[in-house]
Amino acid sequence: MSVTNSEIVSETPLSLLKRVYGYDAFRGLQADVIDDVMAGRDTLAVLPTGGGKSLCYQIPAILRGGVGLVVSPLIALMADQVDALKALGVRAERLDSSMAPEDKQAALEAARRGEMDMLYVSPEALGTGLAGVLTRLGVSVIAIDEAHCVSQWGHDFRPDYRALSRLKQLFPGVPRIAVTATADERTRDDILHELDLTSPQVHVASFDRPNLTLGAEPKAGKRADRVASLVKAHSGESGIVYAATRDATETLAESLERAGLSALAYHAGLDPEVRAERQRRFLLEDGIVMCATVAFGMGVDKPDVRFVIHADPPKTLEAYWQEVGRAGRDGKPAEAFALFGPADMRRSISWTVESDAAEEVKRVQLTKTRQLFAFLNGTECRRGAVRRYFGEENVAPCGECDNCQREPGEGFDATRFAQMAVSAVIRCGQRIGRGRLIIHLTGSARDGFDEDLAQLSTYGIGTDLSKQGWNAVFDELLFSGLLAETGDAMRPVLAVPDQEAARALFKGDREVWLRTDPSQRKTTRKRSGMAAAAVHDLSERDQSLFEALRNWRLETAKAKGVPPYVIFHDRTLAAIAAERPASGDELRNISGVGEKKAGRYADDIARIVAEAA
């Protein structure tokens, strides 16, 4: 089959989707994005990995007369895409530095004759004499894949993407579409600005991945054992274990093999044939665990990867979301779990500081590193935290991640400390950094240092916590958005970005929870057997009431924007299920129910108990 211009005159994007790709309907924002590009508008589309970005430019490229130019950063990806398109009968070719001159010539000639739908080029090609040749081809649309690479604020800045700012002059009037899976608001602004898109249409999909259950914990004990136990929970399923170094991928694969699992190592140091063979096995065989560096994964479109484990933390939240997004592409439940430690954070910071990147790039990197670790160490709903990071608003907790599921014994209500910290930030004029704020809160300023600030009412109100304890509080406040770092990223000052949220904190409508008691700096205890035992002791009849109570708790927590355990512990729900309190007074007698909660929830609980009776 070949697609010629005469055949497509009356073809719509939808009929082409069906005819060429064999799909019945567009997904998510695809149809809107395609409509804009078809209408000749400049467009930015931010769709999650697996969201079907390629179709957003391929379909207009096929439908619009002339050749569609696709700028793509990775030669390997280009080759795959071109092969896949050819297999569908689409006339696609690529031009990159690895090709023989005569092949390049042949591709250009075909394009000139109008016998081509799509031409993939590398960004650096546009910086060379080739650009002039391309302008004479009759280009119908230009797609910029992985567009976040154009931004210094993005997590994967590529200097050769700078050449793309010339596209507007080189191809005046040709619509351009930039696509990416990961771009926070600032990166999106950079893309629009750097590419100088004309009155751009911006489409940002939700970053929710409802089928992914997220978790993270600090590294402790032997890492290989922890990884093995996480993998064993998925025995027989395909998954990826990411590690930071080549050595670590090898040793993890060996230890998983010793534990009786099928594991392979994958990194850039292996022979290309070995890599290709291992990738092939991962794709075709069931239940292979790939222990890999981040060299693995780009373009690996295996739908039934059931877990992604970070044995070392990712580089940024953008990288995290992209990497965990390789699990559960088929929409069925999948798990992502990350291990992290203070040494990882120090390493990441020192690598950035010592790199020879531009100052501005380093600053961005450092901010992103801090945000990543605040996220990993945070106790907020993880899916919610990521979605907020990418700019989504009014996000409800998922109810499924480790933080949403955590038993209260493992969490610590640090609302009081959070109130102190935020009021200190405000009183001190939102112009000093964390170090000075901690000195201020603990009242440890030496003579002559910060004397003005020492007159304020917040001076010395926080002596209950050590410096480490306060650091834990500030980390959490930063990530939950109650505070933000502004100014010089090397020496950031803390400010209150959201007055509304701060007011809610002071009124007690918003709570702040930490993993552990910051005044003790105890290590996290594993989920105690207590709650589980209490639940198992329930009769079948009580058990179903318990489940009903849990559902109510999740709904209530979602409505209030808090983790479920903030409403009631599992233990408390189990006791309610067993005792079946009929009145507010009876409810108050149950352990874990205070006066306030008894007053607030008595009616709800009475109703659920009555319904279950």
Please report whether residue 203 would count as binding ligand ADP according to CB under 6 A. Answer: no
Binds ligand ADP (CB under 6 A): choice among 43, 49, 367, 423: 49
Please report whether residue 55 would count as binding ligand ADP according to CB under 6 A. Answer: yes
- CB of 600 vs ligand ADP, minimal distance in Å: 44
Nearer to ligand ADP, 267 or 326 (CB): 326
- Say which entry of ligand ADP, Zn ion, none residue 176 contacts (CB below 5 to 8 A, set by partner kind): none
Nearer to ligand ADP, 67 or 143 (CB): 143
Please report whether residue 328 would count as binding ligand ADP according to CB under 6 A. Answer: no
- Say which entry of Zn ion, ligand ADP, none residue 27 contacts (CB below 5 to 8 A, set by partner kind): ligand ADP
Please report whether residue 301 would count as binding ligand ADP according to CB under 6 A. Answer: yes
Please report whether residue 13 would count as binding ligand ADP according to CB under 6 A. Answer: no
* CA-based nearest residue to 396, from 405, 412, 383: 383
Binds ligand ADP (CB under 6 A): choice among 20, 34, 43, 53: 53
Please report whether residue 404 would count as binding Zn ion according to CB under 5 A. Answer: yes
Count of other CB atoms within 10 angstroms of residue 486: 13
* CA-based nearest residue to 415, from 556, 516, 510, 480: 510
Nearer to Zn ion, 265 or 381 (CB): 381
Binds ligand ADP (CB under 6 A): choice among 4, 7, 15, 27: 27
Please report whether residue 283 would count as binding ligand ADP according to CB under 6 A. Answer: no
- CB of 77 vs ligand ADP, minimal distance in Å: 9
- Say which entry of ligand ADP, Zn ion, none residue 401 contacts (CB below 5 to 8 A, set by partner kind): Zn ion
Is 364 in contact with 152 (CB distance < 8 Å)? yes
Binds Zn ion (CB under 5 A): choice among 119, 121, 212, 381: 381
Is 319 in contact with 391 (CB distance < 8 Å)? no
Residue 284 CA to residue 280 CA, distance in Å, equals 6
Binds ligand ADP (CB under 6 A): choice among 3, 26, 45, 367: 26
Nearer to ligand ADP, 143 or 538 (CB): 143
Residue 371 CA to residue 384 CA, distance in Å, equals 14
Secondary structure in 3-state letters for 575-593: HHHHHCCCCHHHHHCCCCC
Residue 39: strand, helix, or coil? coil
Q: Which amino acid is at 284?
A: L
- Say which entry of Zn ion, ligand ADP, none residue 398 contacts (CB below 5 to 8 A, set by partner kind): Zn ion
Segment lying near Zn ion (by CB under 5 A), choices 16-24, 56-64, 340-348, 393-401: 393-401
Binds ligand ADP (CB under 6 A): choice among 3, 47, 137, 339: 47
Please report whether residue 372 would count as binding Zn ion according to CB under 5 A. Answer: no
Residue nearest to ligand ADP (CB): 52
Residue 347 CA to residue 149 CA, distance in Å, equals 24
The DSSP result for 427-490, as a single string, is: HTTT-S-HHHHHHHHTT-PPTTSSHHHHTSTTTTTTTTS-HHHHHHHHHHHHHTTSSEEES-SS
Please report whether residue 554 would count as binding Zn ion according to CB under 5 A. Answer: no
Residue 218: strand, helix, or coil? strand
Dihedral of CA 508/513/516/521: which sign? negative
Residue 530: strand, helix, or coil? helix
Is 208 in contact with 389 (CB distance < 8 Å)? no
Site residues (vs ligand ADP, CB under 6 A): 23, 26-27, 30, 47, 49-55, 301
